[in-house]
Amino acid sequence: MGELFTQTAGQDARIDPARLLEIQATYLKEAAELWNQGLQPTPPTDRRFAGEAWQSNPVASYTAAVYLLNARTLMAMADAVEGDDKTRARVRFAVQQWIDASAPSNFLAFNADAQKKAMETQGESIAKGVANLLHDIRQGHVSMTDESVFEIGRNVATTEGAVVFENELFQLLEYKPLTPKVYERPFLLVPPCINKYYILDLQPDNSLIRYAVEQGHRTFVVSWRNPDESLANKTWDDYIEGAVIQAIDVVRDIGGAPQINALGFCVGGTMLGTALAVLAARGEEPVASATFLTTLLDFTHTGVLDVFIDESFVRFREMQFANGGLLPGRDLATTFSFLRPNDLVWNYVVGNYLKGETPPPFDLLYWNSDSTNLPGPWYAWYLRNLYLENRYVKPGAATVCGEKIDFRQVRLPVYIYGSREDHIVPIAGAYGSTQLLPGKKRFVMGASGHIAGVINPAAKGKRSHWIGPAGKFPADVNDWIASAAEHPGSWWGDWSAWLKGHAGKQIAAPKAYGRGKAYQAIEPAPGRYVKAKA
């Protein structure tokens, strides 16, 4: 078994024989204890097997216990692999995927809960499960929520506003002021183009967009077009020049302001940072301050996604999209789901298909299922230059829109946020921007993950955030964490106070969307671009 494992790990990976013997001895000891215990039920150690049916069925309980023992042993072997960091991470990721997929709870023949429900419903749950499976096959993805409950513009993305500009890449939404006065510098949000903007505007009580409007900011957001074949040749440069920089210019024009404030979230933050570097290279400073939420500019620490990225994978994608094309949204959605397979895949396989249940309505999971395509050339450039070669940390190594990217020239004040348990942009990756950007900066760490950490309304008082000593940013994020002080509740209030310090004086709120004849309301928010399906 050990020899097979090390062979599949590759020539540069091995397990020390002494460590392998130790793992085998532990396995035999625990297997003997389990056998001697017989078919006596054991307290659940995993929520997948916590149901009463698992504990009341001795065979099911024993099956679960054997599975958990095997899973622990396989992961111990994965952790014992010797080799370079990427090889070890890939082995661990692959083993974890296999372990999660092979759980007895994922199969009707072994799932005691599903069997009990089938008997109680006289087979109706199985019939409903088959119907759910056929439905999901037709729609092309596993249902995580009751999608029929939600409608964009009716009960998600409901903050009142209008489309005031559009081109082939994006619509620009302006929101109706909720205060009699607004700050003189307009505020632009750039969400990621790999999914839809309304993660920032799910419901009124958890909308970051509405919160910004309530704080007195004249607020705009980029609503990306869901690419079709007409955008199949669009590049990273096209999106920076024709979308981010274009949006900055339009917001300045509408607001009649020489400078605006801007926020970028995830890949939107990477694109905003790129645009700022391009503008700085041109000697332009149209943005007074920037906020980066869970953003990578330095791609040294990319977390679990790094297991997918190497020269052969990137070269394959470059060949695939050499003449244009689209990366289907379902491909991205599947990749992100399998980063947390028990929560985002197998949990729904069991509930939807084995138990015949309909998942409850949940706005966040509706958004998560509303995938977007990507232009292939954009994606290939992003993989090569950032994820693989990390060119932004080397001044002048990357060229965008005809300009050499040098973040030493991006001297504006910045607010940088990272989530402590983020598996997409690890906290070390978010913190890396503090070492890259030379201006005055504030770094804040929030609790939870990539989405829940960001969408954490101030009014609810949930979770905590951490702030370090002013102006001190050691090279290692762990040193910063050690010096940071915990503050209860959301980071939103801290950010709002910071942003107001860069927003200028207050002026009368506008009474109409846009500005004059040049920028008039085209249609009500959320606009038609966000409603297009992949």
Which stretch of 41-50, 144-153, 288-297, 505-514 has the lowest confidence by average pLDDT? 41-50
Amino acid letter, 114: A
Indicate the domain borders of the chain. 2-120, 161-302+384-505
What pLDDT is attached to residue 318? 97
Task: For residue 213, give the H/E element and its range.
Answer: helix 208-214
pLDDT score recorded for residue 2: 37
pTM of the shown model: 0.92
Q: What is the DSSP letter of 322?
A: B
Question: Would you state the structure tokens that stand for residue 383, as one six-digit string?
Answer: 């993989």
User: Averaged over 368-395, what is the pLDDT?
Assistant: 96
For the chain, the average pLDDT equals 93
Overall fold of domain 161-302+384-505: Rossmann fold (3.40.50)
Query: Residue 14's pLDDT is what?
Result: 84
State the catalytic residue, choosing from 266, 296, 410, 428: 266
Q: Which run of H or of E encompasses 364?
A: helix 363-369
Distances (CA, A) of 94 to 15, 79, 253, 302: 16, 12, 51, 17
Structure-token pair, residue 191: 């969400």
Percent of the chain residues topping a pLDDT of 70: 96
How far is 494 from 467, CA to CA, in rounded Å? 9
Query: What pLDDT is stored for residue 334 in this prediction?
Result: 84
- Comparing 528 with 460, the larger pLDDT belongs to 528
* Percent of the residues in the chain that have a pLDDT greater than 90, as a whole number: 84
pLDDT of amino acid 43? 64
395 CB-near residues (< 8 Å, 6+ apart): 404, 405, 406, 407, 408
And the tokens for 365?
């999971």
pLDDT at 439: 96
Cα 154 from Cα 201, distance rounded (Å): 12
Indicate if 266 belongs to the active site.
yes
471-521 pLDDT, tens digit per residue, is 999 999 999 999 999 999 999 999 999 999 999 999 999 999 999 999 999
